[in-house]
Amino acid sequence: MTGDTKGLSVYRLIHPTILTDATELEISRMEWAWGLERGGLDYYLRSPPNDIFFRSDIADMYADGEFVLLPTHQTYMKAMDFSRRAGFLERDENDCSPRRPLTALRPSNGVYRYVFIPITPAARDIPHQIAMKRQTDADWNGGVHPATGKPLPPWVKDYLVVETHSHPVSICKFAREILDTVNRGPIDLTPWTSCLWRFEKQWGLGDISPIKPPQWFIDDAEKDHDDENLSESEAIGYWPLACGKDDFHDRVPGYATSSSTDDSQGSTRVLQWLETVPRRKARPVRASRKRPAVLPPQTPRRSQRIASKLSNVQPSPARRPDSVESNKSIPGWLEQNGHFPTHMFTSNDWAMFCYGTQLSQDDVENVC
């Protein structure tokens, strides 16, 4: 927003406490409408589209509700059109095909446009400190309200625009929190709030949304941090060392290739790699004289584990932005093209694949 690279703070728009405060139906509704897997909300909450960066003093003002950001009418229309075509509406109950993830809405230039609406006198002074852009005709839909089709008041176009990578669902969720708790005075926000509640309704936000995910999705097992699920492209050339030397020559990896790779080339690559990786000798299997062990109880669901940990904890203090200075120790691989490693494919996997060795335990804890 400011163009600064120092003295910045990051604010998490949808706070992770929603995982314990919201009901399972509300969480599954958001995950369904946003094209996420069950349990995927936790991953989104820790992703860049759920963060916003400001100069530290401005971040404090934003957290205190001294100004609010709302989608321009053009951003609103694009988000609503995307949602209608995302594949979760008017869908057969047993249709398990993928839905478009909410991050696919990302504009080609990487930033969304939001109207900057100051509420306090201090916030009204921000445009004098920072150069902001004026609304274009497209931003306010040529003066026509996108939801009602009625003409918009001319003063609507006087509000300035902020560009940020933060996703509209996060911006709108936080805007609702501010608008419900802060005294706005005589400011007329109807041209935007009349779009806001329609956005919330269609994107599965809050109790007003009529969206009900299918039962199979609600009952689906949630993905947790320690779950592994390699995509087809990530699985190319990767084969767990689960077999001995005598076995693997007889088994060509079934998923060592994909629709975009040559079968023989991909299989050969894996076999050559496995030849160079040292393997432990298999221990002889001895018949056990012990009785079969009793199966452990089923692991509680993620929401139950979180709730049990937080049951005796005092309420958290008021939310404040986090300083960006604390993020300077981020591992170097985060800045590499492709953003690997990920939760799906760790740096330890790459070390084993490329060098036939594991990272030291300290390195694994730091980067995985």
The counts of H helices and E strands in the chain are 16, 6
Residue 210, pLDDT > 90, answer no
CA distance 240 to 350: 12
Q: pLDDT-based confidence at 207, cuts 50/70/90?
A: confident
CA distance 332 to 135: 38
Task: Please state the φ and ψ torsions of residue 274, each to the nearest 5 degrees.
Answer: -65, -30
6-53: pLDDT as tens digits: 778 999 999 999 999 999 999 999 999 999 999 999 999 999 999 999
Q: What percent of the chain has pLDDT over 70?
A: 58
Q: pLDDT-based confidence at 261, cuts 50/70/90?
A: very low
- What confidence score (pLDDT) does residue 80 get? 96
CA distance 69 to 265: 52
H or E element: which one contains 51? strand 51-55
CA distance 52 to 36: 21
CA distance 328 to 335: 12
Residues 6+ apart with CB under 8 A from 262: none
- Sorted by where each begins, the domain ranges of the chain are 8-218, 228-283
Higher-scoring residue by pLDDT: 107, 344: 107
269-283: pLDDT as tens digits: 666 666 676 665 555
Length of the chain: 368
CA distance 359 to 349: 9
**Which of 35-44, 92-101, 259-268 is predicted least confidently?**
259-268
166, 13 Cβ separation under 8 angstroms: yes
Percent of residues in the chain assigned helix, strand, coil, to nearest 5:
40, 10, 50
Strands 51-55 and 8-12 turn out to be: antiparallel
* Ranges 11-25, 65-79, 119-133, most confident: 65-79
Mean per-residue pLDDT over the chain, rounded:
76
Going edge to edge, which strands form the sheet with 67-71?
67-71, 112-118, 161-164
Residues 6+ apart with CB under 8 A from 57: none
Q: pLDDT-based confidence at 289, cuts 50/70/90?
A: very low
Q: What is the per-residue DSSP string for 298-330?
A: PPPPHHHHHHHHHTTSPPPPPP-PEEGGGGTT-
- What confidence score (pLDDT) does residue 239 get? 45
Q: pLDDT-based confidence at 183, cuts 50/70/90?
A: confident
Tell me what the mean pLDDT of segment 172-177 comes to: 95
**Mutual orientation of helices 190-202 and 73-84 as an angle, nearest 10°?**
20
| Rg of the chain over all Cα atoms, to the nearest angstrom | 25
Q: Which amino acid is at 305?
A: R
Residue 220, pLDDT > 90, answer no
Distance of CA 173 to the CA centre of its chain: 14
Higher-scoring residue by pLDDT: 267, 168: 168
- DSSP 3-state assignment of 49? helix
